[in-house]
DNA sequence: CCAAAAGTGTTGAAATTACACCCATGG
DNA sequence: CCATGGGTGTAATTTCAACACTTTTGG
């Protein structure tokens, strides 16, 4: 069966290609960034960028496919990943009917200090032109991240194992896009018991050393 | 191509049947209920119940498929429906590889006073044996409903156009499974401005008439 | 007049907000 | 000694939780 006939058959039989896409966020250099790869599939998608992703394999579920494709494209493993939303518009991929189960993944700067395989980091403030419906997927990932930031510990996945309170607050502010009061921030985060100081460990800088903390 | 060979081909080509399932909730007779249909597909699924659902059509997205199948099975239209989660375990349907985009829908008792087409209502406290992974899907629907109840207006989709504050509170308590203080409940819901009294409209009963309200 | 649900306020505790100065270090 | 970011407390406000009696109606 040649590919064209195959696609026709697929359509007629009411099945679709099932894929995953991953919105991988990190905060680096005071920017919330997302990992993108190059997309160049003429005639529809030329000279664009897109999310890392790919087809769901025969004997894996969508979660496993997301982890696998993320590793293949970014060489990152062992990070937080969660299902985001499923995109199914018949026209979302002009080449064929494709359904994408989108994921959101979070990496700290410590997780990404490896050589990256196929792509790079883009600030969400300066995204390049994107293929398919990937702009929409990123928007939804951003909403999810912002929403969860205030009522969960999800920020734990964006900081290295040890971090200062200022670093933690910076990440909050960068993601939410507004400032918060230093004393109130520290009061709340310490009262919540989700972090604890690493006794005797300090971040040494040009000024006063800062206590390092870790998530409990 | 016979069916067996077709399924083999599908598997080999790494595509899957894309379907939707709908967890349709209502609160009736002091119970949170879910709509289920009969499932009888030997040899794997005999004498069971399952969620209303079906295949995604060639020219529709998953939302549209969910609305369509919901109408076909329940004769209900125009109600709240939202995507819940996508289930993709390779073994979730023993007959073939099938991915299901699950939806949660909410109906008020006023929405369901029609003849039902293919199924009936079951209290979530007394669910019958369920086919596929539908028990898991219902559990997730329940979590979503409970979660959203406290920080959104989602309850608006479970009450008729006009309702008393006691009816509203009853629905909250039935879904969350615990009592709340009458004065505090009324204070909070009135302060939130999401509902307003229908002036001059009262629910007449054997005792003191109750003011009717509506969502703004 | 009785049963049944409707309706209504206050008080204390807890959480949240606003706000400004001293400290420790490296250069 | 100075520039830089680290670190700390209090008071006012708002929100939340607990709690009990009177009202209106139909039967």
Q: How confident is the model at residue A95, as a pLDDT?
A: 87
Please name the residue of chain A whose CA is at the shortest distance from the CA of residue B100: A86
In 3-state terms, what secondary structure has residue B195?
strand
> Which of A17, A85, A101 lies closest to B88 in CB terms?
A101
pLDDT per position as a tens digit, B24-83: 999 999 999 999 999 999 899 999 999 999 999 989 999 999 999 999 999 999 999 999
The beta strands (E) that lie in chain A are given as: 15-28, 31-41, 45-50, 53-55, 80-87, 98-106, 120-123, 195-203, 210-215
pLDDT value at A13 more than 60: no
Distances (CA, A) of B57 to A7, A16, A92, B106, B132: 15, 10, 15, 23, 21
Q: Averaged over A129-153, what is the pLDDT?
A: 97
B44 min Cα distance to partner chain A (Å): 20
Q: Averaged over B9-37, what is the pLDDT?
A: 85
- For residue B194, what are its two tokens? 């999401």
In 3-state terms, what secondary structure has residue A107?
coil
Q: Averaged over B119-137, what is the pLDDT?
A: 97
Q: How confident is the model at residue A203, as a pLDDT?
A: 97
Q: How confident is the model at residue B200, as a pLDDT?
A: 94
- Is A181's CB less than 7 Å from nucleic acid strand C? yes
Closest CA to B56 of B98, B12, B6, B90: B98
pLDDT value at B8 more than 60: no
Strands A98-106 and A15-28: parallel
The pTM of this model reads: 0.92
Burial B114-125 (b: 16+ CB within 10 A, else e): eeeeebebbebe
| Mean pLDDT score of chain A | 93
In 3-state terms, what secondary structure has residue B19?
strand
- Is B180's CB less than 7 Å from nucleic acid strand C? no
Closest CA to A35 of A53, A20, A48, A23: A23
Confidence of residue A15 (pLDDT cuts 50, 70, 90): low
Q: Is A168 exposed, middle or buried (0-12, 13-18, 19+ CB in 10 A)?
A: buried
Residue A111, by phi and psi: left (phi above 0), alpha (psi -120 to 50) or beta?
A: alpha
B162 within 8 A of B213, measured Cβ to Cβ: yes
The answer to whether the Cβ–Cβ distance between B11 and A56 falls below 8 Å is no
Q: In which residue are the tokens 């883009």 written?
A: A122
- Is B115's CB less than 7 Å from nucleic acid strand D? no
| Paired strand residues for B30 | none
A54 within 8 A of A19, measured Cβ to Cβ: yes
In 3-state terms, what secondary structure has residue B95?
coil
Q: Averaged over A149-155, what is the pLDDT?
A: 95
B98 within 8 A of B10, measured Cβ to Cβ: no
pLDDT value at A26 more than 80: yes
In 3-state terms, what secondary structure has residue A2?
coil
Q: How confident is the model at residue B115, as a pLDDT?
A: 81
The answer to whether the Cβ–Cβ distance between A56 and B13 falls below 8 Å is no
- The contacts of residue B104 (CB under 8 Å, 6+ apart) are B22, B23, B24, B25, B81, B82, B84, B141, B144, B145
Q: CA A205 – C1' D16 distance (Å)?
A: 43
Q: How confident is the model at residue B1, as a pLDDT?
A: 46
pLDDT value at B2 more than 60: no
Confidence of residue A1 (pLDDT cuts 50, 70, 90): very low
| Mean pLDDT score of chain B | 93
A14 vs B55: CA distance, rounded Å: 7
B74 vs B111: CA distance, rounded Å: 11
A126 within 8 A of A99, measured Cβ to Cβ: no
Q: Averaged over B141-162, what is the pLDDT?
A: 97
Question: Residues of B at the A interface (Cβ-Cβ below 8 Å)?
Answer: 6, 10-18, 55-63, 83, 85-86, 88-90, 97, 99, 101
- Is A209's CB less than 7 Å from nucleic acid strand C? yes
pLDDT value at A8 more than 80: no
Q: How confident is the model at residue B17, as a pLDDT?
A: 82
Least reliable range by pLDDT among A62-71, B108-117, B119-128? B108-117
pLDDT per position as a tens digit, A57-96: 989 999 999 999 999 999 999 999 999 999 999 999 998 8
Count how many Cα atoms sit within 13 Å of the Cα of residue A126 in the half-sphere of its side chain.
Answer: 5
Q: How confident is the model at residue A118, as a pLDDT?
A: 83
Q: How confident is the model at residue A3, as a pLDDT?
A: 55
Burial A72-106 (b: 16+ CB within 10 A, else e): ebbebeebebebbbbbbbbebbeeebbbbbbbbbb
């Amino acid at each position: 069966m040649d590919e064209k006939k195959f696609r026709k058959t697929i359509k007629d039989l009411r099945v679709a290609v099932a894929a995953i896409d991953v919105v991988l966020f990190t905060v680096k250099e005071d920017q919330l960034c997302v990992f993108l790869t190059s997309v160049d599939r003429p005639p529809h998608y030329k000279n664009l960028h897109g999310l890392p992703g790919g087809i769901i394999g025969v004997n894996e579920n969508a979660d496993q496919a997301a982890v696998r494709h993320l590793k293949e494209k970014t060489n990152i493993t062992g990070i937080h990943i969660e299902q985001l939303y499923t995109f199914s518009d018949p026209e979302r991929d002009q080449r064929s009917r494709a359904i994408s189960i989108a994921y959101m993944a979070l990496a700290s700067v410590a997780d990404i200090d490896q050589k990256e395989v196929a792509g790079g980091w883009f600030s969400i403030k300066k995204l390049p032109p994107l293929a398919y419906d990937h702009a929409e997927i990123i928007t939804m990932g951003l909403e999810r991240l912002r929403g969860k930031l205030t009522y969960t510990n999800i920020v734990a996945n964006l900081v290295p194992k040890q971090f200062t309170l200022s670093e933690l607050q910076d990440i909050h502010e960068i993601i939410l896009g507004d400032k918060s009061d230093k004393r109130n921030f520290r009061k709340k985060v310490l009262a919540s018991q989700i972090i604890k100081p690493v006794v005797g460990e300090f971040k040494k800088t040009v000024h006063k050393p800062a206590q390092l903390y870790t998530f409990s």
